[in-house]
Amino acid sequence: MIATVTVAATAAGSLLLTPLPAGADDHDTPPVRERSALTQGAAKASESTTERALTAPVTDLSGNGNGNATAATRGYPREQVLTPDPENPADKSIKLGLTPYHAIAPKLNALQGLGDRVSVEVAGRSAGGHRLYLVTVTAPETAQQSRAQDRMRELIENAPRTAAKDPAVKKTYKMPVFFNNNIHGNEWEGTDAALKLIERLATAKDKDTTDLLAHNRLYFNITANPDGRIAGTRANSNGFDLNRDLVTASQPEARAIRQIEIDKQPAVMLDLHGYVNGTLIEPTTPPHGENYEYDLFLKNTYANALGMEAAVNGLGYTPDKDGVEPAQIPFRDQEEGWDDWPPIFTPQYAAFHGTVVAHTIEIPLRVNNASYDSLPVTELRRRSAVNVDVAGAAMNATLAFARENRTSLVADQIEVFRRGAAGAAQVPVSEETVPGVPGIGPEDVYTTEFPRAYVVPAGGGQRSATAAARLVDHLLANDIRVTRATHDFRLGGRPYPKGSYVVDMHQPKRGLANVLLADGRDISDKVSVMYDISGWSLGRLWGATVDEVKSGRLADVPARPVQAASRVGYVAPRGDLRLRLDGPQEMAALNSLLRQGVPVRQAADGSALVPSSARRSAQALATAYDVAFDATNTRGGTPLSQVRVAAAVTPGELFALREMNFDVVPVSTAVLNDGFDWSAADVLFVSSGLSYDRLDTAARTALDGFLDTHGLVGRGATGAALNTATGLLKATAVEGNGDANGVVRVVNSGRVTAGAPDHSFVYAPVWFTDLGPEATVEQSYATGNPLVSGHWRSQEDGSGGPAAAAGRASVVSGANVVLFGTEPLFRDHPKGAFAQVGRALLTAS
């Protein structure tokens, strides 16, 4: 076995290799980053400082420059021999006549052997352990030429004004182009189109190809979701839709894409999907993301869309003969329904890293789901072949656009970073500011006013030091620059203690910093329907106190850049201990103590009381989870014990429960009808996939018997329906608009929610009325309009809106029952709300 190591850069730039702790998971360890230490989220935003570090001469790629940004940089090609995977005849790609996952490594080995243009690296591993292959296609480079490229890429982000004037950047910078394929596992054909394109590029001698590769680096994420490709599922093996995970980055595949965006800094990208007939080509309908430079994005993305449309239609497929409709561009052809508002999609996330041409492409002919099972193999393979052609046409058109417009595209990427670093105003889109894009109207104008900074306070002003550290590390992982105060300071009229973190919003990736930290916006009145979620604020949902600072002199703040949040794990040196249950890390530590048999009690304020005899265990957990065990003199409390959770929940909720270290066994209607052994569970958590009406008599009897002596935690309409069917707690669940979602204000009033944040998340919100005398209101939606950001309208009859929910109970409890109308574990995202579910499971059992 090869030991897994983490990599740390020393001040001199050398690498220290440190073994991971025993049992550590290698896919949770960030890969070695290509960028220099200067830009690993730690550089100051001041361009003058950065410029001095980056502006050593870079005159050309002939080896005469002094580029030395990354001493260990190798030239291209960077070939390696990939070990083949075992043949898997069950791979769902085979039926379609496409490339099964096990054939990809041999194919890439062969492509590397065709010449000196193709390189392969392993960008990470999937949740199921499969390798993620990143292929680079470019003209050969010496090590010195590659260092020059690194230096120019650094200059573009970190000293954009200088980069804009640098003749070497204009003449010799190889613009990165990124193709992301198969992020939805059962939307296969982008992978095969990419392999065909790489094969052609590897050997083509025509002038356009040689010019393209001399002035660009082309990156191909061959299959972003190998688990799903093999299994024929949209999601990865953890059940996650990876094209909804880019902001949370809970999954290793999403983290790999994030790292590619940061390290390669593409100006152009395509994300290949299916299936919409005719082929759907971004840009989208309103609303448009308000935090990125939409004028630059729209200008370039629309122009490339026209080229892709012509290429796809030019293939000659017709509706009558082939079942292929003409391509469509939603910005031009639709009014609403396919928006680019949330940053969770790969192209929208890419825009925050300087990508100025970014598209989702939906290829036309359906071959998945019911079609996969019902259509003849010959028809499936015909459709897949058409889809490969369509994906290839989109890729080739994009390469032509990149080759023809390289200079202006690089200039626009530089402008994205310049605006961020300078704190410049955004440019609203109009037919004057974005010439060549017809039909721009007021419905397309979305901008925001960026604050001067965000502060994550230290000390008494911080709700949770653990949550604050987690948030800061997440910002840094997203290439957001963060500093930490070396002395007390004042900013925006408020005092802050030493150790507080500051996010200066005059930085190249200000749009990403703002989209992560801002409250967001209520866009309910803008459009009638959204494609997916509309609110996601880490500032409100991750459990840390975050202050928005509208104005102030950052130059007066004594602070230093950080590369990682300071550790906050702590154990009081003597006496009994108290662990506040603020988030998933504290819940994980508590469950570990319970699993060890430590006699833990729960105090009236909801915290966990740990005896001094468990100090050694507490010290290990404080280090492992970065949590604090304070001293306490509190006596009494309710004994806690380890609980085994039977969970009929969504994949995101299952993942979050395991993140909190709960012992979980998934169940469903089918599992219970098959004869589930209830002795394996202490509490039932239901939100999805379990219907009391569909249980057979034996399963109902067994479930009723379990609930006579054990607890139920229910979430949403499904959990509430089970509670009603079993008669456990008198409470009427009222369902809000099923399309509603976003960040909401709440009021906490019970033990389950004690100390919880005053914001939560909803998706198809529920509230409770007609409560029986045994019911306790744990949490309520705030009065007025509880929606802070997102999209929540009333239904056509006027019901189901936020006004109807205002002041109503969002979480209720009774004897051995807790019901949630919010979504505190949604897609593993609202970290600050996780502990509510953890407490509910412990108390309901």
Per-residue pLDDT for 389 more than 60? yes
What was the pLDDT predicted at 451? Answer: 98
Report the greatest alpha carbon distance in the chain: 82
Per-residue pLDDT for 689 more than 90? yes
Task: Tell me the per-residue pLDDT of 586-611, one tens digit each, with 9 for 90 and over.
Answer: 999 999 999 999 999 999 999 999 99
Closest CA to 124 of 248, 194, 25: 25
Q: What mean pLDDT is reported for the chain?
A: 92
pLDDT category at 845 given cuts 50, 70, 90 is confident
**DSSP three-state, residue 553:** coil
Per-residue pLDDT for 22 more than 50? no
Q: What is the 3-class SS of 743-770, one letter each residue?
A: EEEEEECCCCCCCCCCEEEEECCEEEEC
Q: What is the DSSP letter of 818?
A: E
Average of per-residue pLDDT across 794-807: 96
Task: Tell me the per-residue pLDDT of 326-363, one tens digit each, with 9 for 90 and over.
Answer: 999 999 999 999 999 999 999 999 999 999 999 999 99
**548 neighbors 573 (Cβ within 8 angstroms):** no
Task: Tell me the per-residue pLDDT of 614-659, one tens digit each, with 9 for 90 and over.
Answer: 999 999 999 999 999 999 999 999 999 999 999 999 999 999 999 9
Q: How far apart are the first and last CA of the chain?
A: 42
Q: What is the DSSP letter of 137?
A: E
Distances in Å between the Cα of 264 and the Cα atoms of 136, 172, 218, 269, 820 are 10, 16, 10, 11, 42
Task: Tell me the per-residue pLDDT of 147-161, one tens digit each, with 9 for 90 and over.
Answer: 999 999 999 999 999
Task: Tell me the per-residue pLDDT of 311-330, one tens digit each, with 9 for 90 and over.
Answer: 999 999 999 999 999 999 99
> The domain 570-639 is classified under which CATH number: 2.40.160, 3.40.720, 3.30.200, 3.30.70?
3.30.70
Per-residue pLDDT for 205 more than 70? yes
CATH homologous superfamily of domain 74-101+118-139+171-422?
A: Zn peptidases (3.40.630.10)
CB atoms within 10 A of CB 588: 20
pLDDT category at 724 given cuts 50, 70, 90 is very high
Per-residue pLDDT for 833 more than 80? yes
CB atoms within 10 A of CB 635: 9
What was the pLDDT predicted at 693? Answer: 97
CA distance 813 to 825: 18
**DSSP three-state, residue 729:** coil
pLDDT category at 73 given cuts 50, 70, 90 is confident
Q: Which two tokens stand for residue 387?
A: 């889809």
Task: Tell me the per-residue pLDDT of 775-793, one tens digit each, with 9 for 90 and over.
Answer: 999 999 999 999 999 999 9
| Percent of the chain at pLDDT exceeding 90 | 91
What was the pLDDT predicted at 8? Answer: 32
pLDDT category at 63 given cuts 50, 70, 90 is very low
**DSSP three-state, residue 520:** coil
CA distance 373 to 367: 9
Catalytic residue numbers read: 362
**379 neighbors 367 (Cβ within 8 angstroms):** no
pLDDT category at 797 given cuts 50, 70, 90 is very high
Domain 644-844 has CATH 3.40.50.880: yes
What are the φ and ψ backbone dihedral angles of 510, each rounded to 5 degrees? Answer: -60, -35
What was the pLDDT predicted at 15? Answer: 26
CA distance 283 to 270: 12
Range from 54-63, 309-318, 551-560 carrying the lowest mean pLDDT: 54-63
CB atoms within 10 A of CB 196: 16
Task: Tell me the per-residue pLDDT of 140-149, one tens digit each, with 9 for 90 and over.
Answer: 999 999 999 9
- Select the more confidently predicted residue: 38 or 817: 817
Closest CA to 442 of 520, 348, 526: 526
What was the pLDDT predicted at 42? Answer: 37
Q: Letter for the amino acid at 697?
A: T
Per-residue pLDDT for 46 more than 90? no
Half-sphere exposure of 791 (CA within 13 A, CB side): 18
What was the pLDDT predicted at 72? Answer: 64
**DSSP three-state, residue 435:** coil
Per-residue pLDDT for 585 more than 90? yes
What was the pLDDT predicted at 7? Answer: 29
Closest CA to 720 of 768, 663, 662: 768
Per-residue pLDDT for 70 more than 70? no
Q: Name the residue ranges covered by the structural domains of the chain.
A: 74-101+118-139+171-422, 453-561, 570-639, 644-844
Per-residue pLDDT for 235 more than 80? yes
